[in-house]
Homo-oligomer: A and B are copies of this chain.
Amino acid sequence: MFFLKQLPTKAMVDKYSGIYCPEYAEKVTNQLKMMREASILVRQLDTYFASHNMSQLKFLILMVIDRELDRDWLYAVEISERLDVSKPVLSRAIKTLTEKGYLSTHKDSKDGRAVVLTLTQSGKSTLTTLLPDYFKILTNHSGEEQ
């Protein structure tokens, strides 16, 4: 999350960085602007998911399982290859999704350590319900602070 509402002026960047170069100041403000815009969008999405007792991470977990082309399941470790999140956070989110009845888990027959994760019917329909407005929020976003 990036909180700064008013970006620093070029003069401020020059002074603070000690580098008096228009391209440098422009690059800095562009990056700050991007972080700000993304933060606003992430927050909108978080609010949306929270109103459905979900979170972005949980939604993305359902999505990466669903979008798998050749299988209808993933190992947790495969999810962590697709989502850039720490193992304990992923572990907890999977536990919550299982408790909610969105994921079914069973031990892998070949590897005693691994857990096979499949979407339940409820998980699939939750994903399907959430998707349209998810895209709507993404695309309606103005790119401006309101």
State whether A4 and B60 are in contact (beta carbons under 8 Å apart), knowing that A17-B131, A35-B38, A35-B42 are contacts in the complex.
yes
Tally of this chain's copies = 2
Residues of B within 8 A of A2 (CB): 38, 42, 56
Asked if residues A28 and B83 are in contact (CB atoms below 8 Å), the reply is: no
Per CB-CB distance, the 5 closest pairs between chain A and chain B, nearest first, are A38-B38, A3-B83, A17-B135, A31-B138, A35-B38
Asked if residues B17 and A132 are in contact (CB atoms below 8 Å), the reply is: yes
Residues of B within 8 A of A41 (CB): 31, 34-35
Bound-complex Cα distance A64 to B4 (A)? 9
State whether A138 and B27 are in contact (beta carbons under 8 Å apart), knowing that A41-B35, A84-B5, A132-B18 are contacts in the complex.
yes
Asked if residues A31 and B67 are in contact (CB atoms below 8 Å), the reply is: no
